[in-house]
Amino acid sequence: MLPYRFAPSENSRIVVVGGCGGIGRAVVKLALANQLQVAIIDLPQTIEAFPPPESVLVFQADATKEDQVKSAFEQIASHWKAIEGLVNLAGFLTAFETVEQINLTDWQYIFDGSLLTTLLPCKYAIPLLRNSKGTAAIVNMTSGIAYIGRARYGPYAAAKSAVVSLTKTLAVENAPKIRVNAVAPGAVNTPFLSGGAAHGGVQGGSAKRINIEEYLKLVPLGYLAEPEDIAEPILFLLSQSARYITGQVLHINGGALML
């Protein structure tokens, strides 16, 4: 893979939460191609299923568990006294039911899987980001679903909407030292479409929650996004090319949603 023009400077240290997922692997690959130093936080089963390159620091944690996230960042701090970037990619949708049908346990599980997995890494990364010599950056993962109504996406959409609000709050609280933005992809060709990397989903597997042919009729660019289509904008938002961008959501959906 060729280096990407709009990437953080060489040897920048970034932490990728969910770095073994579909988009995460693309972010890690692109980061390494640009000579960045990378640490991954992910679930043990996802790390086992998609082993990262040997040059990557790897830490096991359930990002909904505060003690595990705190421990992971303490371990990262033993290697690096500062980091320049944090990328939060964790999120999943298991129970695909209406608000009337879904039970509270499933709702909370899905909600926490997108919101706590963003909140907790931000909380424990901020001290390391503040230690960076220059301006540091966070990129969170929201979704176009946060902006539109879709049946059976209730807890996921609510959590991703909360991620948007959290991103803006963090941008204000941590300016000017740390920039905080989010990306909002549409459908992407990753294991998420067939359940999620940690929930039995596979790359190219049969989509469980979306009719791809019908979806593509709504996409002016006419194709399903690949992980690289999301990874490059993420690295751009981490880089100094985005130095005057904070508190924003970048929609990446081939034109399916125009705001």
3-class DSSP string for 207-251: CCCCCHHHHHCCCCCCCCECHHHHHHHHHHHHCHHHCCCCCCEEE
Distance CA 232, CA 228 (A): 6
pTM to 2 decimals? 0.94
Ordered by start, the domain boundaries in the chain are: 13-252
**In a 3-state reduction of DSSP, which class is residue 40?**
strand
Q: Rounded to the nearest 5°, which phi and psi values hold at 154?
A: -45, -60
Angle at alpha carbon of residue 221, lines to 257 and 251, rounded to 5°? 35
Mention every residue, 6+ apart, whose C-beta is less than 8 A from residue 69: 41, 61, 63, 120, 121, 123, 124
Calpha distance 20→40 (Å, rounded): 8
Fold of 13-252: Rossmann fold (3.40.50)
For residues 136 and 130, is the Cβ–Cβ distance under 8 A? Answer: yes
Contact 182, 137 (CB under 8 A): no
Alpha carbon of residue 206 to chain centroid: 22
Measured CA to CA, the distance from residue 125 to residue 52 in angstroms comes to: 21
Along the 259 residues of the chain, how does pLDDT read in single tens digits?
Answer: 667 789 999 999 999 999 999 999 999 999 999 999 999 999 999 999 999 999 999 999 999 999 999 999 999 999 999 999 999 999 999 999 999 999 999 999 999 999 999 999 999 999 999 999 999 999 999 999 999 989 999 999 999 999 999 999 999 999 999 999 999 999 999 977 855 555 555 555 556 678 899 999 999 999 999 999 999 999 999 999 999 999 999 999 999 999 8
